[in-house]
């Protein structure tokens, strides 16, 4: 039986190219990033979701979603994901450089699966992403069902 990470699609929504590279590299080290798609902003990701056909939705997916992005920020992207019946069960891990309790609470109320603070120190950031990758190798995520549009 393949590991959970072997069939996992990861959608990384991150505007900072350095952070995206660090996330990809450290998830790759634990075998998770082989099926990672990177989006540089919330608009691109939401446009991508709108192009998915129902037969493409039967996959185990996870969104790593930066909060502070230009244009549509991560909180609004999260709100839209959870409001769409096709994606409401999609696990979303929020990524932020802040640990503001109000922001964490708002994300929780909107349905985020988890909230990770991106450490400022490069080594700490790399270690956090490696630990996330290890977690993703053992966690079982729900299939995103192919359901009609709301």
Mean pLDDT, rounded, for 33-39: 84
* Domain range for 29: 4-140
The token duo for 27 is 């998830």
The reply to whether 68 falls in a domain is yes
Cite the DSSP H helix spans in the chain: 17-29, 42-51, 74-83, 101-110, 122-138
pLDDT at residue number 85:
85
The reply to whether 149 falls in a domain is no
Are the beta carbons of 15 and 66 closer than 8 angstroms? yes
For 90-135, the pLDDT digits (tens) are 889 999 888 888 888 888 888 888 888 888 898 998 888 888 888 8
Number of domains composing the chain: 1
The reply to whether 14 falls in a domain is yes
Q: In which residue are the tokens 């929504």 written? A: 13
CATH number at residue 76: 3.40.50.2300
pLDDT at residue number 38:
96
pLDDT at residue number 148:
40
Are the beta carbons of 59 and 49 closer than 8 angstroms? no
The reply to whether 146 falls in a domain is no
Q: Considering the entire predicted model, what is its pTM? A: 0.85
Angle between helical axes of 74-83 and 42-51 (0-180°, round to 10): 20
CA–CA distance, 73 with 103 (Å, rounded to integer): 12
The reply to whether 148 falls in a domain is no
């Amino acid at each position: 039986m393949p590991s959970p990470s072997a069939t996992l699609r990861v959608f990384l929504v991150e505007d900072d190219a350095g952070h995206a590279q660090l996330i990809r590299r450290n998830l790759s080290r634990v075998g998770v990033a082989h099926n990672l798609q990177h989006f540089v902003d919330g608009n691109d990701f939401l446009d991508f979701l709108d192009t998915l056909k129902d037969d493409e939705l039967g996959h185990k997916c996870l969104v790593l979603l930066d909060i502070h992005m230009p244009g549509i920020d991560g909180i609004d992207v999260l709100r839209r994901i959870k409001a769409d019946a096709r994606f409401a069960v999609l696990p979303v891990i929020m990524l932020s450089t802040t640990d503001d309790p109000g922001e964490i609470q708002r994300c929780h109320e909107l349905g985020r699966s988890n909230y990770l603070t991106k450490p400022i120190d490069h080594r700490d950031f790399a270690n956090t992403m490696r630990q996330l990758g290890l977690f993703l190798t053992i966690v079982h995520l729900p299939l995103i069902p192919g359901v009609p549009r709301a």
